[in-house]
Structure 1
Amino acid sequence: MSRSDRVLADAEAVLRRHSDRGQSLSRRARQRRNAGLMRKVKYAFWAVLAILLASAVAGFMLPLGTTGVMIALGVMIAALLLIALMPTKSRVKTEALAATELTALPLKTEIWLENQRKALPSPAITLVDSIGVKLEILAPQLERLNDQEPAAQEIRRLLADHLPELVTGYQSIPQPLRREERNGRVPEKQLVDGLSVIDAEIGRMSETLASGDLDKLATQNRFLELKYQEAKELGQ
C-alpha cells in the first residue's frame, strides 16, 4: 500500500468511526470533564490512604492522642479541599496555541474552542462542533507531516493565528453591539462567515493531506487572506 493510500485509509477509518459514534465537540468535552472528575476521586482516595497509613505508623511509635487525631483529620480535610479546588475542565490559553507542537495542535485547538462556547452565538456553536469533528480527523494525519514544511506552516497559521484572531476579535466587541451593523458589517455575521470559511478550509486541508499533495496544501488557502483580514478587523 502506498503512502497516500495508507493516509486515505486512515482518514476513512476515522470518518467511519466518527459516523458510528456521532460524537460532537460538546460530548467529547464532557468526556474530558468526567475523566477529570475520576482523577480527582483517585487523588482523594490515595491522599486519604496515605494520611491514614502515616497516622497508623506514627501511632505505633508514639500515641497520637486527641491532638494527633485532630491534626490528622485537619490534614485530611485540607488535602480533600485542595483536590476539590483543582480544575476539572482542561484549559488552553490563546497564546499557548502558537507554541504547541503541530501534532498536538488540533486537540489543543479543540479544547480552546470548547472553552469559548459560552461567549459565542448559537449559529456559531454548530460551526464550532463541525470544526471540532474535522480537527479530530486532521490530528492523526499531522503525525506524518514535518513541522518545517510549508504545508505544516499553513496549518499552524490557520489553527494558531487566524482562528483565535477571529474568535477573540468578536469577543472584544461589547455584547450589545455584536448584532448591530458597524462600518457596513454585522460582527455576529462576520464571525459565523469566518468560522464557516475556516471549517471548510480544515476539511480541504484534511482531504489534501489524504491525497498526499503537500504542494497544493501549501498554496491553496492564499485566497482566504482577505477573509482573515476581516477577522482581524472585527475587534477594531
Structure 2
Amino acid sequence: MTDVDRLSARAEELMERARARAPSTAADKRLRRRREAEVVRRVGRIAIADGAILFGAIVFALAVAPLGIMGAMLVALLLVAATLFFAVLPAGSGAPEVEQLAQVPLKALPRTTEHWLDTQRPALPAPVHGLVDSIGVKLEFLAPQLALLDEASPAAGEVRKLVGEQLPELIKGYARVPEPLRRVERNGLTPDQQLAQGLQVIDDEIAQMSTQLAQGDLDLLATRGRYLQIKYQGDEVGGA
C-alpha cells in the first residue's frame, strides 16, 4: 500500500468516525443553554417594550386625558405589535466577520470564534458536524482559562494563532472549493476528507492547549509552535 493509499484510508476512517459520532452531552448542553439564553433575551426585550408602552399610556391618562375606548384599543395594538416585533427579531448580535477575529480580545476569542463557527455549520458537510460540536465545546471550556493570560505573552500568541487564524483559514479554504469538486479526489484526498482531518487536528490542539493552561505549562505552550503542517490549509484547499 502506498503512502497515498494509507492517507486516503485514514481520511476515510476519520470521515466514518465523524459520520457515526453522536452529539456529545456537552454539545447538547451547550446548544440548550444557548437556546435558553436566546429565549430569555427575547422575553426580556418584550417585557421592557410592553412595560414602556403601558407606562407611557398611564402617564398620558393621568397627565393629559383619559384614554377612552379608542386609546385603550391603540395601546392594545401597540402591545401586540411590540410583542410580535421583538419575538421575531434576532436575539443575538450578528456573527463577526472572519477578519474581525484577529482584533477580538483574547479572553473573548474562544466564544466569538465559537459563534462564528456555528454560523458556518450549514455550509459544512454533515459528517464533520460532530467535530464542529466537539471544537465548540472545547472553545467554551477554553474561554475562562484565557481570562488571566497576558495578551502579550507567547502562549497567548499560540492560542490566538490556532483559534483566531488557522481554524477560520481552514473553513475559508474549504468554502472556496466549488461544490461539485468537494468530493473529487486530489493527491489522494477529497476536500471533504481534508476538512475532516484539519478539524480533527485543531480539535486535538485545542484540547492540548486547554490541558497545558490548566497545568500552568505556559512555557511549553509558548514553545510548541503549533502550525497545521498539512497541505490542505489555506489556499491549497481552495486549489483542490
1:109 aligns with 2:113: yes
1:85 aligns with 2:91: no
- What is residue 46 of structure 2 aligned with on the other side? 44
Structure 2: gaps of 5 or more residues: 1-23
- Paired with 1:98 and 1:89, the residues of 2 have a C-alpha distance of 21
Instruction: Give 1:68's aligned amino acid.
Output: G
Which residue, out of 198, 201, 209, partners 1:205?
A: 209
Deviations 1:137-188 (A, max 9, x none): 3222212311101110111011111001111221232323211124553100
Q: Identity of paired residues, percent?
A: 47
Tell me the SS of whatever aligns to 2:25.
Answer: coil
Deviations 1:66-119 (A, max 9, x none): 553454344333322331232135643223322211111112222222222222
- What is residue 12 of structure 2 aligned with on the other side? none
- TM-score, normalising length from structure 1? 0.79
Give matches, 1:55-94, under 5 Å.
55-60=57-62, 61-88=64-91, 91-93=94-96, 94=98
Tell me the SS of whatever aligns to 2:198.
Answer: helix
The 8 Å contact of residues 24 and 132 in structure 1, kept in 2 or not, is answered as no
Instruction: Give 2:202's aligned amino acid.
Output: I
Instruction: Give 1:106's aligned amino acid.
Output: P
- TM-score, normalising length from structure 2? 0.78
The 8 Å contact of residues 30 and 137 in structure 2, kept in 1 or not, is answered as no
Structure 1: gaps of 5 or more residues: 1-21
The 8 Å contact of residues 57 and 75 in structure 2, kept in 1 or not, is answered as yes
Which residue, out of 189, 195, 202, partners 2:193?
A: 189
If each structure's helix is expressed as a fraction of its own residues, which one has the higher value?
A: 1
